[in-house]
Structure 1
Amino acid sequence: MHSSDAEIDYYYIVAAAGVGKRMGLDYPKQFLEVEGKPIFIRTLEMIEKNQKVTGIVVVTNKEYIYEVKKMCQTFKVNKVIDVVGGGKERQDSIYNALEKLPKESIIGVQDGVRPFIEERYIEDSYTKLMMEPNLDGVVIGMPVKDTIKVINSKGEIVETPTRDCLFAAQTPQVFRGEILHRSYEEAKKQNFLGTDDSSLVEKFGGSVGTILGSYENIKITTPEDLLIFSK
């Protein structure tokens, strides 16, 4: 059980260690500028605005650490407490960032190229964990609108899951620091590679709740995704 009587420190890890291949870029997509501002900076600015957030650790490609630090200074993102190098997989990158944060805290993980994070995601995730001591984490996401098919290695449909039970996970994903640290340590020991942060916490016994996000809370991955900025 976890006490909800006192506020505890709230940190964010922002994953900005991607590449730009699917965007047709020769540089990481998080540096793509929209209206004069890199996408990941837009994400950082929204997190920084929240008064509960104590600090932010950005994880990026090792060769861009200095550049990311300079961008944070230029755009006056003052809650960034460190910028660390990423690893081979996203999971390795988050592990590197986690080493900079205390276990006795609440830790949110956010995609750097998911710039439509809303204030309520940050606020409500923290509040839900404080109010519901049975939960170890909270994931923002939305019900799946399309019918999903499970296929085999030959591309043949083998199952059609009930859509009512399907939930498309987004970020932020917010956890109690102790279990997030422990889950990442166990995953490293067991060579387990999860699909997101929640999958690690789930595997190692954590209970994770959900909060409705928005269908516009997309991860910028392909050139078509940029059309959302013109809405």
Structure 2
Amino acid sequence: MKRNKRQRISDEQVSLLLLSGGKGKRAALEYPKQFFAIAGHPMIAYSLIAARKVPDVDEIVVNAPEGYEEQTAEILAAYVPGIPTKIVQSGETRKESVRLLCDAASHDTVIVPRLS
């Protein structure tokens, strides 16, 4: 999978903070919904595919539910090779998860996509 070669719009280094630590209780699955496959790809992959197309994303920081760190790492390696990534623990709340992602970001400029 190739990275988009479009010109950057910012000279600043940017970290993408991806909330992916939910347990998916409302989805009624036995595992977190971000790992549910749609058209052959886990749900989280669609955010990663979009991120790969943004030339300003220099790092992707993702939180993962406890026990799913390895699976998250495998997905990151498959969908965003060549982009530095970090996996951090999820918080008890969405707000805490965002704080943990911010704390782990290497860059002062961050993007936090609003996902439902």
For normalisation by structure 2, the TM-score amounts to 0.81
Cα contact 1:15–1:59 (8 A) shared by 2 = yes
1:112-143 deviations in Å (ceiling 9; x for gaps):
xxxxxxxxxxxxxxxxxxxxxxxxxxxxxxxx
Q: Is residue 2:15 matched to residue 1:11?
A: yes
State the Cα RMSD in Å: 1.8
Query: Separation in 2 of the partners of 1:54 and 1:35?
Result: 28
Larger RCO: 1 or 2 (CA < 8 Å, sep 6+): 2
* Stretches of structure 1 lacking an aligned partner (at least 5 in a row): 1-5, 111-170, 172-217, 220-231
1:147-191 deviations in Å (ceiling 9; x for gaps):
xxxxxxxxxxxxxxxxxxxxxxxx2xxxxxxxxxxxxxxxxxxxx
Is the alpha carbon distance of 1:23 and 1:42 closer, same or farther for their aligned partners in structure 2, counting shifts above 3 Å? same
Give 1:22 shift.
1.5
Is the alpha carbon distance of 1:27 and 1:70 closer, same or farther for their aligned partners in structure 2, counting shifts above 3 Å? same
Cα contact 1:56–1:82 (8 A) shared by 2 = yes
Residues 136-175 of structure 1 aligned to structure 2 (within 5 Å): 171=114
Select which of 39, 44, 64 maps to 2:43: 39
Is the alpha carbon distance of 1:108 and 1:15 closer, same or farther for their aligned partners in structure 2, counting shifts above 3 Å? same
Give 1:36 shift.
0.7
Cα contact 2:24–2:31 (8 A) shared by 1 = yes
Query: Separation in 2 of the partners of 1:10 and 1:76?
Result: 15
Select which of 109, 113, 132 maps to 2:112: 109
1:20-47 deviations in Å (ceiling 9; x for gaps):
2211211101111111101111101101
How many aligned positions are there? Answer: 107
Read off the aligned partner of 1:107 and give its amino acid letter.
V
1:79-99 deviations in Å (ceiling 9; x for gaps):
242111101111111211212
Secondary structure of 1:30's counterpart equals helix
Q: Is residue 2:88 matched to residue 1:60?
A: no
Query: Separation in 2 of the partners of 1:18 and 1:83?
Result: 14
Read off the aligned partner of 1:12 and give its amino acid letter.
L
Q: In percent, how many aligned pairs have the same letter?
A: 22
Give 1:48 shift.
1.8
Query: Separation in 2 of the partners of 1:77 and 1:35?
Result: 21
Structure 1: which 4+ aligned runs deviate by more than 2 Å?
Answer: 74-78
Cα contact 2:52–2:80 (8 A) shared by 1 = no
Query: Separation in 1 of the partners of 2:99 and 2:30?
Result: 26
* Stretches of structure 2 lacking an aligned partner (at least 5 in a row): 1-9
For normalisation by structure 1, the TM-score amounts to 0.43
The higher radius of gyration belongs to: 1
Is the alpha carbon distance of 1:34 and 1:77 closer, same or farther for their aligned partners in structure 2, counting shifts above 3 Å? farther
Cα contact 2:18–2:63 (8 A) shared by 1 = yes
